[in-house]
Amino acid sequence: NIILIADGPWSNWTERAIRQSDHLLLVADFDSDFKQSEQEKRVNALWDFSSHLKQSLILVHPSGTTEITNTKRWLDERSILRFYHVRIGQTEDYARLARILSGHANSLVLGGGGARGYAHIGVLRALEVNGVAIDAVGGTSIGAVIGAAVALQYNSDKIFNLCAQYFRNFFDFTLPVISLIKGRKIEKNLEMALGNKQIEDLWIPFFCVSTNLTRAEQVIHYRGSLAEALRSSMSLPAMMPPVIKSGDLLVDGGVLNNLPIDVMNDLYSGGKIIAVDISPKIDLASNESHFMSGSGLKLLLAHLNPFRRTAYIPSIFDIISRSITLAAVNKSMRTDEQNLASLYLLLSVESVGTLEYDRLKQIAELGYTSSINQVTQWCRGSEDS
C-alpha cells in the first residue's frame, strides 16, 4: 500500500494526492471543531462518491480516554460509513487501525440462537487463549448482544458475569395479543448491562442485523442507540413485540440473516472473518411422537413426572424460533456463504434448548470445548502462512 500525505494548507500536491487515491483517510482530533472545514469541502468536491472509492474518518482521542460520547456530531456532518476511534499512545488502537486499513482485520461474526448464544462466550475465551485480537464485530440476536460487549472491549469473564446478572431471567409474560412477553425487562437489562450508548461510540467497530417486517428487507445497524438496535435484532416474532422505527416494524435479524458473514465481508473485505454458527442444520429431533400429538396437559404431566425416562420434547419456543429462522439457517449452511469466513465454527449445541438461559456455565463451557482445538489449529495455520 502507498500512503500519500496531503499538505496542511491546500496545494497542488494535496489536489494531486486526492486524485491519485482510492481510499481517503480524514484524521481529526475528536475534541476539535466537528464542522466541515473549507479544505474538507474542497476535498469532497474532488472526491467521486459514486464510485468504488472509499472514505474513512479517524477520530483521535487523548491518552487515557475510557468513554466516547457524541460521535454523532461528526457523522451527521458527513456521508461516511467507516469511522474509527484511536487513543494517543494506545498501541492496541494503532494496531487495530493498521490491520483494518491494510485489509488484515480479524473480524468476528456471531450468530443467533437464544440461550445457545452463551456458547459464544466460550469461543471468546478460546480466542483470548490464542491471543487473537478482534478488530470488528457483528452479529444477530443473542450474537449481537455478545458482540456488543466485545465492541465495548469486555473480555470473556466480564461478559459471562454480565450474562449471569442480566440475561438469565428476562421474561415478562403478558397476554399474547402481539407477543408472549412484553420485552420491557430485556430493554431495561440491556441498558443496565451495556449502558445507554450509541453504536458509533464503541471502541471496536460494531454492527447488528434486524429484519424490517414492513418492507421485507434486512436492516444493518451501525449507528444509533445500541440498546434499541439490540432489542430489534433479538425481537423474535411472537416471542417479543417488534420495535417500531419510523413507522416500520423491526424484528429478529435471524428471520433473514442469522449469521451475517456477507455483511462483514462487504465492510471489511480482505481480512480474516471468524464466524460462529450456533444453529445446526439438524435440530429438534425427537422420537416422542405420542407426546407430540398429545394435549398440553399430558405433555406438562409427563415433563413433571420424575419416573419417566429422559426424552427430548421441543418447547413451543424452540419450534417457533426454528420455524422463523429456518430460511436464514439454510442460507448460513451454504458453502459459498461459509467460504467467506477464514474460520467457520459450527458449534455442537443441539443438546441446548433455545430458552435454557439457566445453563449459562454449561453452555459457555460447551462453546469453549467445541472450539478450542479448531481455533488453536487455525491460529497456527495463520502463523505459518
Catalytic residues: 141, 252
> Is the CB of residue 98 less than 8 Å from the CB of residue 344?
no
Q: What is the DSSP string of 245-296?
A: ETTEEEEEGGGT-SS-HHHHHHHSTTSEEEEEE---SS------HHHHTS-H
CA dist., res. 95 & res. 72, Å (int): 24
Instruction: In whole angstroms, give the CA distance from residue 181 to residue 160.
Output: 24
CB atoms within 10 A of CB 39: 14
In 4-135 the beta strands, taken as DSSP E runs, fall at 23-29, 54-61, 82-87, 106-110
Q: Could you give the C-alpha distances from 146 to 85, 131, 143, 172, in angstroms and in order?
A: 21, 19, 5, 21
Question: What gap in Å lies between CA 116 and CA 124, rounded to an integer?
Answer: 14
Whole-angstrom distance, CA of residue 259 vs CA of residue 138: 9
Q: List the one residue out of 3, 49, 52 whose CA is nearest residue 25.
A: 3
- Backbone angles phi and psi of 58, in degrees to 5: -110, 115
Amino acid identity of residue 89, one-letter, is: G
